[in-house]
Homo-oligomer: A and B are copies of this chain.
Amino acid sequence: MAATTKHFEAVPQVAADAEVRGRNLIVMKFGGTSVGDTQKIKDVARRLVTARETGQRVVGVLSAMGDTTDELIRLAQEVSPQPHPREYDMLVSVGERISNALCAMAIRDLGHEAVSLTGSQAGIVTDTVHGKAKIVEVRARRLNEELDKDRIVLVAGFQGVSTDLEVTTLGRGGSDATAVALASALGGACEISTDVEGVFTADPRVVPDALKLPRISYEEMLEMAASGARVMMARSIEIARRYGVPLHVRAAHGKTEGTWIGEEAGLVLEKAIISGVTHDTSEAKASILAVPDRPGVAALVFRALADAGVNIDMIVQNSSAEGTTDITFTLPKTDLAAAEPILERLAKETQAKGVVYDPEIAKVSLVGAGMKSHPGVAADMFEALAEAGINIEIISTSSIRVSCVVRASEVERAVRAVHERFRLFAEERVNG
């Protein structure tokens, strides 16, 4: 499993108390492409005002404009080959401050009160790990004061203030995490506006007749995120699940409903065998060949990789009759450079035959809470792939997911074959 799914924000104090729950409050988050220029920022201002005019309390969380953060990173690289993490956070956190201040100006021109807050002013308290800090607490006093003044409150996403009073950034998926943590602390729903219309039964670029899901459970969404769906990162879904924050994923521009993510019990899931088919081409396969098959070898390998920060996903081990075993696993292609010297060393130490790498793989996954009670689902998926003439190289399953590694060149055919096989179930879910 990817290590990132194991280290979600420790947020002991972000849950709102019962008194504030059920307040009519929404946190609306907009990503970088939704605020790419000043016209788009004015569009977002109007969206926030429209929500406010329905009587809800509104908090906006805007990412940095388009390529602002990339430009800041470029400056840092020109100055320093390895920028100091504390100063790097001081630098890259300004992008969100720009977009949120601009949006507050635009809202005031629409005749509403607004105020933009830095992560620090908004009480987003994090740990001290610069560049990938985790939220430990939301001190919502100032936020509530501003909301009590009938203001639309804008909060710079992706950043906070550490327990050492330093500016920190939250790393990948940080703005979503900010939005969900705020919704939790303030007692409201969280709407994530993005460049897709919601969560689909498969990537619509690969499967043109994929269906948009009206509802999905946190657990299914976590599995879909972990297996390649790029709508949201597992990190913020996990916070929402832990604190029961209703999530709504929708297109930034457009008026249709997107996908609601919530508790399984709150959804009508009896027929929901399948949520969707996901795929992921970002991983590579590595195999240590003919390792002497003795206790502790696997532990040795995966401890060394974990210590180097390499995220391992699927693992298979096949023992042979000769007393050796092949250990095969997948890892992000971006981690290959870090993993290679470790694996070469381990192969020598364990007297293995060698290590081979294969970046030309893809993973196809089928996700659905209903498969728990339908034991035939995995077999159906394997059959669909076999009928399409696609070879399965590795299989891994959880209680609500089946994943198969195939050749990268065959991934789109694989997704379409599996989706076609489970299309009926998906249609029942969307319409039922």
Contact = CB atoms under 8 A, between A and B. Distances in A.
Contacts of A106: 79-80
A79 B114 CA distance: 14
A79 B42 contact: yes
Contacts of A83: 105
Contact of A76 (B81, B86, B102, B118): B102
Q: How many copies does the complex hold?
A: 2
A78 interface: yes
A253 interface: no
A333 to B, nearest CB: 29
A65 to B, nearest CB: 8
Nearest to A77: B38
Residue among A42, A75, A105, A109 with max Cβ neighbours from chain B (10 Å): A105
B87 A75 contact: no
Interface string A87-101: 110110010011011
A72 interface: yes
Contacts of A165: 121
Given A81-B109, A97-B94, A108-B80, A102 B75 contact: yes
A116 interface: yes
A221 B96 CA distance: 41
A158 to B, nearest CB: 14
A104 interface: yes
A108 B91 contact: no
Interface residues of A, number: 35
A115 interface: yes
Given A42-B79, A78-B38, A97-B94, A87 B108 contact: yes
Contacts of A255: none
Nearest to A74: B38
B102 A116 contact: no
A76 B80 CA distance: 30
A239 interface: no
A342 to B, nearest CB: 28
Contacts of A346: none
Interface of A: 38, 41-42, 72, 75-76, 78-81, 83-84, 86-88, 90-91, 94, 97-98, 100-106, 108-109, 114-116, 118, 121, 165
Given A87-B102, A87-B114, 13 more contacts: A38-B78, A38-B79, A41-B79, A72-B98, A75-B102, A80-B109, A83-B105, A84-B108, A86-B115, A87-B101, A87-B115, A90-B116, A91-B97
